[in-house]
Structure 1
Amino acid sequence: DLIVANQNSQSLSVLWNKGDGTFLSDTPVALPFRPSALEAGDVEGDGDLDLVIADAAAGKVTVWTNDGTGQFRAGATVSVGESPQALFAADLDSDGDLDWVVANSAADNLSILKWDNGADTLAVAATVYSGGAQPQSVTGADFDADGDIDIAVANTGSDTVAVLLNQGDGTFSGAVPFAAGPRPVAVLAADVDGDGPRDLVVVNQPTSGAGTISVLVNTSETSGLGGRDLAEGADANGPYVAAPIPDVTVNEDSADSIIDLFAAFEDPQDPDSSLTFTVSSNTNSSLFTATSIDGTAGTLTLDYAPDAFGTAEITVRATDPGGQYVEDTFLVTVNAVNDAPVVNIPKGYYATDEGQMFAVSGSFVDVDTNDTWTATVDYGDGSGVQALSLNPDKTFQLSHRYADEGTYWLTVNITDGSGETASDTAGVFVWSVAPTVNISGTPSVDEGSAYTLNLSASDPGSDTITGWTIDWGDGTVQTISGNPSSVTHVYDDGPNTYAIKAIASDEDGAKGIGPAPEIVADFNDDMQGSAPAAGWSYLWNKNGPIGDSANYVPLIWSGVTYDADGVPGGPAPGDGKYINMRKMRGHPGAGVAEGSAVDRYAIAAFTVSRPGFYRIVDSSITPWHPNGNGNGIELVILVNNTLVDNSRQIVPPQTTASFDQPLGLLSTGDTVYVAIGPNSNSGADPFSLDFSLALDPAGLSVEVRNTQPVFDLPTQVSLDISKDPQLLLSALPIVDAGADTWTGTVDYGDGSGLQSLAIDQTAKTFSLSHTYAQAGTYTVTVTISDDDGGTHSDQLTVYAQNPPVAQPDDVSTDEDTPIVINVLADNGHGPDTDPDNNINVTKTIALTVPTAGTLTNNGDGTFTFDPRGQFDSLTSGQSATATFTYQIEDANGAKASATVTITVTGVNDAPVANDDTWTIQENTPLTVSVPGVLANDSDVDGRKSYSEIVLADGPLAYWRLGESSGPPFVDATGNGRNLTSVSGNPEYGQPGAIMGDPDTAIRFDGQA
């Protein structure tokens, strides 16, 4: 019988076989789901055929059991993979039970179901990969002749049939894919070539064109499917593939490809020219305008269709004259010509503060929907090209912190998988932000001393602090280059209290104030629609030139901006055309070059509500259109109707300028006007604007203390009243750090009374001059006061007296004897004296060192002189002198000096004799040449004139004299004589005296 699954009507139809090959229809059986596959088999093992029905939508299969009469009831439901599309039943593990294979199309896998005896139902035993995409049909057979049922599955999405070999226990090896036709949708196992092994027949259903059937021939019982073609009646004499046709890969719209078929096919019996070539299969004919064969040339020409891309398998058949043929299949791949993506950053100009995070979103489109993309961004500030993340919805987020003010152009590049790149740009205006300033220092300092002010400034960007301006509060304003950590200042006079202020400037000209000023108004932060915030007004000079507030009229909120007529879109009438005021895209009015009587300015005005010193800070203006009028825009600042000094400036297109400016002391009700004009022509002059109005603080307070004057008098002064009784000390310095004047008094201590002190105010010095009438000790007291009340006193002691008298000294000693000299005693010229009888012997010192010898001060008025070692060259009867100068001092410090002369006499010093040694051969005379034995002898007195030289005797010294023959030297047993034994004997003679005669030589040869 036949059972048919009706998908659209959700039912089963039963067609009963009447036994003659005709069928009887029965009433369809309704199902609770749309069946996607159906298979029959004895699930329960009771001998009846049951049904297993797949539900693709639910990803399940349901068992419908047969009660033996052909009536079915729904049984267990088993969850399998996504979208089951095919079923196959067989005993896969050889246990006698029927197992089931389910092809899950959307999951690209197979579910293996086995009977669970315990649960009395089917259960998933394993899930395996189908070997391709979208498995649509499954069958089984013993493909490798091992007695087990293997599986073959048609994978529609990958144009393959995959074979999974059974390992004998119901488990399977990895899927091995074989190429089929386009979109294989059904597979059948059958021995189509009659050789015994099961082959595969595949039905291919391409998306367009006629369907095809592929036959996969099982060429080996052990290795599975290897062939793809059938050649009936083929034998060894038929044509064969000599060189497989190589696959072809070209780009879309490429020129024709020509295939050499004579190189691909050979025939052992017939010439190549006898072969007939045909294209037996083309899986994607839409890829070509024509596939033509030139039999004479033996070529296949592939003429590619315009704008077509994809793949095609082309099979070429070569047939010989006898009808035998062979086929070869090759793959043609036509790569699509890539379309570049289109990048979009929302148009406009963006503004942000330096150091703040800038963010904006962008997007891109690409008609190649299956492409992949990478992206980079260059923010234009030198930070380099950076990778940019792309969102699945083809959007991206730009986020960057600009470190410095300026106008930057960021660029986004997006590259698709084929290397095509597209880009978009946007302009970003980065406003300079003033540095934050901190100053600190000690609360007080002495006048004239260096006060250290600690400086620190932080900038939200990467700006460098280029300089400082310090107002010290005492009228001194100091300008400093660079960014020191501290600076010093000397306050001239105290007591007083001053307030210090500091301004730090960065490289962009932005200025920060310390202590930090109070921000009372901010253009950007306060900008609001409908009506200006408190204190603000937005104006234009409709009635005449700027500088007269009577000429100003309000700008009107248009829902987007403040402009001349309050009407959204389009220019306002008259000279107010295009004029508007807002954070971005503000614009001046008409200029005189356009026929306006005067330049029309867009004006931001703020009226102060409390008095104080005001300034403009954190300011920037940027005419951002690259095609500005060429003249730039004009900016001026006024307080009431008065132009602020140095405030007017012309700002060129795409240039950011600061207009930080002190405004001076303002009263309640004063109005500050910031006016932006066209500089004669308003064409293409949109601008970005920001500034703040700040109230200056009181400053850092420092107390400057007064310091008293300081001077130092000498401890004591001695006067010789017999010669000069006057005390005279000139130009004694006064040290006072302050810018003061001084007065003073002096008491000389002798009863002359308190006297006024003469002070040189310019030189800061004073002098003392006084004559003492009589000897004595006096205390002088000096007191000096400055004009701020600081006072200092000092004293000195004056000794008015007669000084001591020192007399010369003459002493003598010999060259080897030290001598103690009492310089206070009478040494030939009388003793040293003091009229006051108070010589302090311990203060006696040598003013010079002796000209020779060594000198020791004994500390009691005596010196020890040692001549030894420095006068040895003196001989007896000779002498030399040494001198030194000494000084005596009395108890009051009076001094006197004299000279000591020491006469040193010479003495005779013994000479120094050194041994002489000679070595001679026996029987050889020894002659000692001049100066003989004296050559190595010395005399410290510098002479070698000796009274006698005696030859000393000794046991080895023998001298033979007067003998006509025989050796001159003999030993003690010979005839020689010891010299001592012949002393005075004329036979041998006396050696005699040698009186230093340089020509005398002693010959020890018995001759002379």
Structure 2
Amino acid sequence: MTSLTTLGGLPFFGTLGDDAFFQLTQQGNATVRWEIFASGTNQTVYAVGSPEFRIADIDGIGGATNTRESVTPSVNGLTSYTVSTPTNLVVSVSSAGIRASGTQDQNGESTSLVGFIWSEVSSWEINYTLHINDPSIQARFLHDGDGDFKFVVPLTTPLLGLDLDANDSTAIGTARETTFAENGAPVTIVDSDVAIVQSSVLGENSWICKRHADQSANGRQAACRGLYQYEWQLHSWRRNIHVLGNFEWRPDRGCARRDGDRGAVPRGAPADHIREHVGHAVHRRPERACLGAQRGVPNRQQRRHLDHHRRLSQRPTGRADKSITTLEDTPVTLTVADFGFSDPNDTPANTLVDVKISSLPANGTLSFNGMPITSTQVATGFAVTAAEIAAGKLTFTPDPNENGANYATFTFQVRDSGGTANGGVDLDQSPNTITFDVTATNDPPTVTGLGNGPIGSGTDAEVQESDLATGSTPSDVGETATGTFTIQAGDGLTSLQVGATTITAAQLAAATAAAPVTVTGTNGTLSITSYDPVTGIVSYGYTLTTPADHTGGAVTDPFAITLTDSDGDTASSTLAILIADDAPTAVSDTGTVTEDATTTATGNVVTANDTVGADVTTTPVSGIVAGLGSPAGTGANVGSSVTGTYGTLTLNADGTYTYNLNNSSDAIQGLTQGETVNDIFTYQITDADGDTSTATLTVAVVGANDTPVVIDPNNPGTPENPNPAPDPQNIIPDIVTIDSATPPTVDVSDYIVDPDGNTLTFTSTGLPDGLTLDPATGIISGDLPSDASQGGPNGDGIYPVTITATDPTGATTTTTITYTVTNPAPVAADDTATVIEDTPLNGFVDTNDSDPDGDDLLVTQFTIDGVSGATQAGDTAVIPGIGEIVINDDGSFTFTPELNYTGPVPVITYTISDGEGGTDTADLILTMTPVNDPPVAVDDTISVAEDTPASGNVIGNDTDPDGDPLTVVDYTVDGLPGPIPAGTPVLIPDVGTLFVDPNGAFTFTPIENYTGPIPEVIYTVTDNKGETDQGVLTLTIAPANDPPVAVDDTATVTRIRQQPATC
């Protein structure tokens, strides 16, 4: 970018990858100039070829152009543009420039991409515009110079193109190049290939030139400087190019021959002069021809040879003005000869191609192929080919009944087959005139615009019989109708006869809507309300006054029309008014009866809502049938009783009826309250001329409620009429069962039904606890509790139950059933237990007892075999010499045996109760199991004389309850480690020696003169069955008188200070 002009917002540049982007921050536009420089220098470089610059992310709003963003490129050197197919861009091209505008927000998607292609340029400019004045909206434009922005499906539109490829095709040709030598043979270019495609945005100045072979071909426009220039005539979008013969040598463009000759070819020089000077201008070396455009077309795409030998076609001529005579009202078919074509200036002469219509006749009609030629067609050069004229497709038709000399003219120009190549002229430049003279003829009178006949041939207006005062729609106005017909009396009108009435020309002219000429018809009045002598239009009105008899079919009220002109000629027709028949309309009726209540319905089907119509009759009912269908014939069943589905109907001819319900039928008795069924009858009414209409009489039968009924399932009757049970309160069998049982299921709905088929709701009173009645199904089910036998009104387990059935209306019926529930007795099972000697036994006597209905069991008392009386539960009973026992009410017991008792225990019988009167007894059988008793060691006390050993037996006074032999196991001496195994002596320091034998014998030997205390001895005795006991052996020493013992003494005296010794 080398320059920038901004009118709004602050532009920024940045890059996205290798692609530059440009952003406008507020409404306005910016013009950016892009230039091509040689890398590392400031030297401008012209592109060799066609640089393409792509711009993306041009957004829009709502599918409309110029709503948000647009770009406008410079057109100097611009040759084409490309968009994707499809695209969300609109590219507008006009003489004002070219602009790409977004129509939808694309957010940078490739479908918003546009590419512009320039040819041989070094720079270009692009104007960027943001159209929206909204601070929150900015416009960003992305740029692509290396082609990595891809078109979806590229669509390239050329702005400048050339076709000179000499292949006589209509498509733009590809580049072609050839050489020729001075004075060499010319190369012909086919005329149809000489074309330039050039957009109006590029202007209209084009040229064709030759370039010397030795000139530098650097691809720029300057390559065509100094060359010969031709002037071209340009036409429309795809311009045909024709050499006009105006050729000049342009030395001011630096074009000089090598011999230095300069000169000019006079303007307007003939073709051979052009050829001569062109041949003179070329050099002796080969040269190339090129075609350029003022805004820079790539020369490499436009090199062509020129044909310098084209001949010019001369204009043809048409016949001098010509007159054609025809009769009044007679068309003329034009022929090729009528146009007098000639081509005197061409040799050989060309042929007629077509005739251009230059102007249209003021009178009459000039038509092509049966269609009038319009002024728009003439303005755009409408022409008729010679072949089409020869085929009779060009005609002239005078206006009806018009005539006169010089009645009409039109002008034309003839065109030959010579074409316009090289400035030729193929169209006669001076229009010629054809004049039509129309000769008058006798005009017979005519009557047009009428159907001219009875039904089938045509009618002219229609009136509705139904809109008469007695008709079915009297408020409407269809009994009147209006219309027109046209009369023409070219020789003068004398009279118009309508029906039997003759109307003079003066009367006809004076007729108005306020003062019409009236004619009475068969069923109504015809009024002539106006006449226009210019157009010949006669206006009329018709009013129907009486209905018509349509028995034979459609009916018209016809009026004969006769027109007489001044020379006595007549023309006739018929004005026929179609009278649309009014038909009766039967409208369906309803009636109502109610089961067990109002069983008769009456009314009148005709006067209630039917319409007989204009063809009045007092006895319109012509048939009646039960159900849906067609009544069988006129008068069928009218006045007679007709049996329907639920009753009978009598319908009379005047429409009155009576319906009687068959109330006793099962279908009626089976109706629920409010339920409705319909009894349908179809009747027919007929008017005076035989038109019919059918409708239905629907009698709604409304059901009433029936009370539910208790039945005997073995004799139920029908659902609609059930048989009541003879004893409805005792029809359901009673149930006998026990506590905690699941009694048989009872389905109450088997015994109570509803005649209407309604769903019943069941309720009950007095059911035992645990049983329920399903209100929807009527089933009694459940499980009884264990105390059900104690319930009931009297506490005796007898339950009188009342069942009530209720229908949806609240109607009820009842029945009863009795449940008798008894209590099953408990079952007590004997118990056995083993008692360990000297050990109390605890247990439960009821762990194996049961109750069929799950009642809680209690022990009430017990007896002991051999012991009189019964002991209440919880009290203790003594069994002399054996022990004592207590059994509590919860079944727990404790037996305590006498010490060391191991003999038999009497049978103990206990009684259980379920609390509901059921009892049972069982025995508790106890067996004693002896156990080993430990021995009993008795302490021993021994007195020991001083210096005298003592002996004895520690088990001599010990016993064993079981009589088992005893043995000393070990003993301990207080203060010494132990225990000491029996049979092992032990020295008691400073006391003496002790020995205890396993058989219990012991010996204690005190030390000499010892009289002090002897430590306590504890021994352990066993019965050899593992039981042990300990005893204490207490030894005491009785002192004896011992002689004294004198012990010698010695002493040492040491003299200190000469004092005496002491001791």
The TM-score range, normalised by the shorter chain, is under 0.3
TM-score, normalised via structure 2 length? 0.24
Give 1 or 2 for the bigger CA radius of gyration.
2
TM-score, normalised via structure 1 length? 0.25
